[in-house]
Amino acid sequence: MARITVIGGTGYAGGHIVREAASRGHEVTSISRSLPEQRVEGVRYTTGSLLDDGTRVAAASESDVVVAAVSPRGDMAGKVAPAYAELAEAARAKGARLAVVGGAGSLLVAEGGPRLVDTDSFPEEYKPEALEFAGILEDLRRAPEDLDWFYLSPAAVFGAYAPGEATGRYRVGGDVLLTDAEGTSFISGADFALALVDEIDNPAHRRERFTVAY
């Protein structure tokens, strides 16, 4: 059993991760700016902000694994990358593993590129978020070797707008976007969480980014 803290634990990805981790008997804490109306049994819910130094240090101090599941959009645009850098340093200092829920935009559409975010089909309104996520990944790759981290990019279609169903399966890739025979790239929230908690339980991607899709 691991002590897992999910920052952004009431969001789409974070909520699924909290539920999956708790179902396996892990000691789970969810941190978010507001408390949810519906709660997962056995999970400790607390309020806090990624932008608060005390919240970041406490999360790293009290956990074996800190899951960062905050998106750089809305009032968090431009603020997540520097906060994640501070969180990474707190995790390194306390010996906690850092798991980052990243974006799909920095994935390559094929070996050698380009990145998904750099293609003509990528929606202009989502580019700032995708580029901030890409910067977070680069920051992690430059981090000191004693920081244990992994960065999980979802498929291109992932979010509350297309929740999908729990299938109990997924494929794993590296830096290249995974698509099916029809060219679709999709993963449900439940199966994304399954993959992330599988990595916590059976580490296979130390200091690496990987991606999952059907």
Place of tokens 């974006």: 103
CA distance 214 to 167: 9
> Where do the domains of the chain lie, and which CATH numbers do they carry?
3-213 (3.40.50.720)
pLDDT band, very low/low/confident/very high, at 22 (cuts 50, 70, 90): very high
Cβ 158 vs Cβ 16: under 8 Å: no
CA distance 20 to 31: 16
Place of tokens 């990358």: 81
On whether the pTM is more than 0.95, the answer is yes
pLDDT band, very low/low/confident/very high, at 60 (cuts 50, 70, 90): very high
CB atoms near residue 210 (< 10 Å)? 17
What's the rounded mean pLDDT across residues 112-119?
96
The set of long-range contacts for 109-118, using a CB threshold of 8 Å and a minimum separation of 24, is 109/176, 109/177, 110/176, 111/176, 116/156, 116/177
pLDDT band, very low/low/confident/very high, at 34 (cuts 50, 70, 90): very high
The pLDDT, as a whole number, for residue 1 is 93
What's the alpha-carbon Rg for the chain, to the nearest Å?
16
pLDDT band, very low/low/confident/very high, at 101 (cuts 50, 70, 90): very high
End-to-end CA distance of the chain: 28
How high does pLDDT run on average in the chain?
A: 97
